[in-house]
Amino acid sequence: MEQKKRQRLQAAGWRIGTTSEFLGLSPEESIYVELKVRLSDALKYLRRSRRMSQETVAVTVGSSQSRVAKMESNDPSVSLDLLITSLIAMGVSRQGLARIMGLDEPEPLTMESTADVSGSVIPGTFTLASAAENRPEAGIK
């Protein structure tokens, strides 16, 4: 968020914070949510880049079209296990999964510092990939 806009909102009485603060997530829960979002976005990117329908992906991963739609929309009923096994079934390597999850980053997800969506560092939570590295396609070849 631009500094001027931030100051204007704060002057008007608005409180500025992160999504994790708004939702009251612990650092561990924030990391979990970030992993699910990255995996979900990667599956959606992979499907679209290959010009596949959700139905075709469902056949490939041994699931249903409605389940693929839930995987791509970050539905809370979708497990990390399902997302990971689906990406593997789509041909993503272990190294690709590591890149998607940010495990190959200089500072992988830790609880020492974080960057919120705007890229501002917030001590005491976790580190996210930079905007350039936070592309789902970064882990897909």
40 belongs to a structural domain: yes
Please give the tally of structural domains in the chain: 1
1 belongs to a structural domain: no
Domain housing 66:
19-139
49 belongs to a structural domain: yes
Full DSSP string of 96-117: HHHHHHTTTSSS-S-SSEEE-T
| Per-residue pLDDT of the chain in tens (141 residues, 90 and over written 9) | 788 888 888 888 888 878 788 888 888 888 888 899 999 999 999 999 999 999 999 999 999 999 999 999 999 999 999 999 999 999 999 999 988 988 776 665 554 444 444 444 444 433 334 333 444 554 555
31 belongs to a structural domain: yes
Q: What tokens were used for 125?
A: 């939570």
4 belongs to a structural domain: no
Q: Report the CATH number at residue 56.
A: 1.10.260.40
Query: Is the entire prediction scored with pTM above 0.75?
Result: no
